[in-house]
């Protein structure tokens, strides 16, 4: 039936001298980012706290390493990123052949579908989680199963187990989760991983791992768990402040990594990203500053929200999500903040139209946010 429809579209497009675009591609929506990339538009805002970036800026060590590398960008980058892989192997105490670099964590999610799924398969994630995974499933004509969250806005791992069938290829878990900020503890996670059939790849998206670990010293590190069917994904876009460079990595059993290497674009990540990442991983001062800033403001903002009577979800990441009783209240809060110069992220695109995500920015931005929050008339 699906094939028939494809053939009908194909014939129609050929008849009209059009390039054939498969129906499932036509049905995709382009990604809507949290903010416009127009810099002039930025000037309107005193706090841009919408995309979970590190607003303390990039690591100074990374910036100077990148400057030194710029004169060499007429050369292709090392396609294996050997130096960076070696460094990550040392940091995580894993073998170099268990590591793959990528053009952001996003780039690895994209590659995982290419390597491990076929149209007609299914993949499982949860509602209210990172939507890029959902989009990649649609892009690959793979059925997406979204399970409900618990009442505490956590991944419901029992529901995920119930959704598995013999066409399930991939399960996606985000810990801490974007956009709810919730975490899964080590016992719960291990219990779940022990129950998942070993033929299913489990993705652990740990984009916010460092913040989770700083909030709870027992926060699970799946890189050290060594399940053969788990891939742990990390990024330098968040705590390391390198979102614009596009660099992330995955760690898994060599069997998984070698399949991914076969389908990855050859010269990524680029050379500036590779040297920037190498330097940023050594910048412990910048790391500590970022973690301290985050912990301090997560606590201050939580207190202020509580005083204001706004419901928020306890966060293990670098953002806090607030939930309003209605979509209208969320919209008016967002509009008020926006016109006062605070850019936040409304979570309609994540299936949470009555929720807004507040990223932790630098001190000036957070002080400004707090000042605007106290003047917000809706909750006085
Ligand atoms: C959970 C999660 N995974 C992945 C990413 C994307 O990371 P990267 O910038 O490395 O592609 C984000 C960015 O917001 C995220 O929140």
Residue 20 C-alpha to ligand 1 middle, in angstroms? Answer: 31
Same domain, 263 and 340: no
Distance CA 234, CA 139 (A): 22
Q: Which of 104, 131, 235 to mutate to test the pocket of ligand 1 (most atoms within 8 A of CB)?
A: 235
The 10s digit of each residue's pLDDT in 259-289 is 999 999 999 999 999 999 999 999 999 999 9
Same domain, 142 and 270: yes
Q: 221 in a domain, yes or no?
A: yes
Same domain, 46 and 68: no
- Decide whether any atom of ligand 1 lies within 6 Å of the 249 Cβ: no
- Decide whether any atom of ligand 1 lies within 6 Å of the 52 Cβ: yes
Encoding tokens for residue 170?
């991939």
Same domain, 206 and 163: yes
Q: 92 is in which domain, residue-wise?
A: 60-280
Neighbours of 200 (CB within 10 A): 15
Same domain, 156 and 273: yes
Mean pLDDT of the chain: 94
Q: 1 in a domain, yes or no?
A: no
Q: 267 in a domain, yes or no?
A: yes
Assess whether pLDDT exceeds 60 at residue 317.
yes
CA-to-CA separations, 237 to 11, 54, 81, 102, 343, in angstroms, rounded: 44, 8, 17, 12, 19
Measured by CA distance, the residue closest to atom 7 of ligand 1 is 105
Q: How confident is the model at residue 4 (pLDDT cuts 50, 70, 90)?
A: low
- Decide whether any atom of ligand 1 lies within 6 Å of the 206 Cβ: no
Q: 31 in a domain, yes or no?
A: no
Last residue of a domain, one of 245, 280, 315: 280
Beta pairing partners, 368: none
- Decide whether any atom of ligand 1 lies within 6 Å of the 248 Cβ: yes
Q: 6 in a domain, yes or no?
A: no
Neighbours of 118 (CB within 10 A): 11
What is the structure's pLDDT at 275? 98
The 10s digit of each residue's pLDDT in 338-368 is 999 999 999 999 999 999 999 999 999 999 9
Angle between helices 363-375 and 284-308 (to 10 degrees): 10
Total structural domains in the chain?
2
- Decide whether any atom of ligand 1 lies within 6 Å of the 130 Cβ: yes
What is the structure's pLDDT at 380? 39
Residue 334 C-alpha to ligand 1 middle, in angstroms? Answer: 23
- Decide whether any atom of ligand 1 lies within 6 Å of the 160 Cβ: no
What is the structure's pLDDT at 274? 98
Ligand 1 atom with least separation from CA of 105? 10
Distance CA 6, CA 22 (A): 7
Q: Which of 108, 110, 237 to mutate to test the pocket of ligand 1 (most atoms within 8 A of CB)?
A: 237
Q: 338 in a domain, yes or no?
A: yes
Q: How confident is the model at residue 377 (pLDDT cuts 50, 70, 90)?
A: confident
What is the structure's pLDDT at 30? 76
301 touches 360 (CB < 8 A): yes
Residue 217 C-alpha to ligand 1 middle, in angstroms? Answer: 22
Same domain, 241 and 165: yes
Assess whether pLDDT exceeds 90 at residue 17.
no
Neighbours of 131 (CB within 10 A): 17
Last residue of a domain, one of 280, 304, 329: 280
Q: 149 in a domain, yes or no?
A: yes
Last residue of a domain, one of 280, 306, 331: 280
Q: What is the CATH number of the domain that holds 356?
A: 3.90.1150.10
- Decide whether any atom of ligand 1 lies within 6 Å of the 320 Cβ: no
What is the structure's pLDDT at 36? 53
| Cα torsion through 333, 339, 341, 343, rounded to 10 | 50
The 10s digit of each residue's pLDDT in 182-232 is 999 999 999 999 999 999 999 999 999 999 999 999 999 999 998 999 999
Same domain, 203 and 336: no
Average pLDDT in the 52-63 region? 97
The model's pTM is 0.94
Same domain, 148 and 237: yes
- Decide whether any atom of ligand 1 lies within 6 Å of the 105 Cβ: yes
List alpha helices for 16-169, DSSP H: 23-26, 39-42, 60-69, 82-92, 104-116, 131-139, 157-163
Same domain, 275 and 290: no
Ligand 1 atom with least separation from CA of 52? 14
Same domain, 133 and 179: yes
Average pLDDT in the 313-317 region? 98
Encoding tokens for residue 64?
């100077």
Distance CA 141, CA 155 (A): 24
The 10s digit of each residue's pLDDT in 64-90 is 999 999 999 999 999 999 999 999 999
Distance CA 282, CA 318 (A): 21
What is the structure's pLDDT at 18? 84
């Amino acid at each position: 039936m699906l094939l028939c429809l494809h053939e009908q579209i194909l014939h129609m497009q050929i008849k009209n001298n059009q390039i054939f675009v498969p129906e499932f591609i036509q049905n995709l929506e382009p990604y809507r980012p949290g903010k416009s990339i127009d810099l002039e538009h930025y000037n309107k805002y005193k706090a841009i706290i919408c995309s979970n970036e590190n607003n303390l800026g990039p690591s100074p060590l990374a910036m100077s390493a990148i400057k030194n590398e710029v004169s060499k960008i007429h050369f292709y980058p090392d396609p294996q990123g050997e130096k960076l892989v070696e460094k990550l192997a040392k940091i995580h105490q894993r073998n170099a052949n268990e590591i793959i670099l990528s053009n952001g964590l996003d780039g690895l999610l994209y590659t995982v579908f290419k390597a491990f799924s076929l149209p007609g398969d299914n993949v499982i994630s949860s509602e209210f989680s990172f939507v890029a995974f959902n989009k990649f499933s649609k892009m690959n004509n793979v059925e997406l199963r979204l399970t409900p969250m618990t009442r505490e806005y956590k991944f419901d791992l029992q529901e995920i187990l119930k959704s598995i069938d013999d066409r399930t290829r991939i399960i996606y878990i985000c810990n801490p989760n974007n956009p709810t900020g919730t975490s899964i503890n080590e016992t719960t996670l291990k219990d779940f991983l022990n129950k998942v059939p070993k033929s299913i790849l489990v993705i652990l998206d740990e984009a916010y791992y460092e913040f989770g670990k700083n909030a709870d010293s027992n926060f699970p590190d799946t890189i050290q768990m060594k399940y053969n069917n788990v891939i742990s994904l990390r990024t330098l876009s968040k705590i390391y402040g390198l979102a614009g460079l596009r660099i992330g990595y995955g760690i898994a059993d060599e069997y998984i990594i070698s399949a991914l290497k076969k389908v990855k674009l050859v010269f990524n990540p680029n050379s500036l990203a590779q040297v920037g990442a190498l330097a940023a991983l050594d910048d412990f001062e910048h790391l500590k500053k970022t973690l301290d800033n985050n912990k301090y403001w997560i606590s201050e903002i939580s207190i202020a929200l509580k005083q204001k009577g706004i419901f928020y979800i306890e966060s293990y990441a670098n953002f806090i999500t607030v939930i309003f009783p209605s979509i209208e209240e969320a919209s008016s809060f967002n509009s008020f903040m926006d016109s006062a110069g605070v850019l936040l992220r409304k979570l309609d695109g994540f299936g949470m139209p009555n929720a807004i995500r507040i990223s932790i920015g630098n001190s000036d931005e957070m002080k400004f946010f707090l000042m605007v929050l106290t003047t917000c008339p809706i909750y006085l």
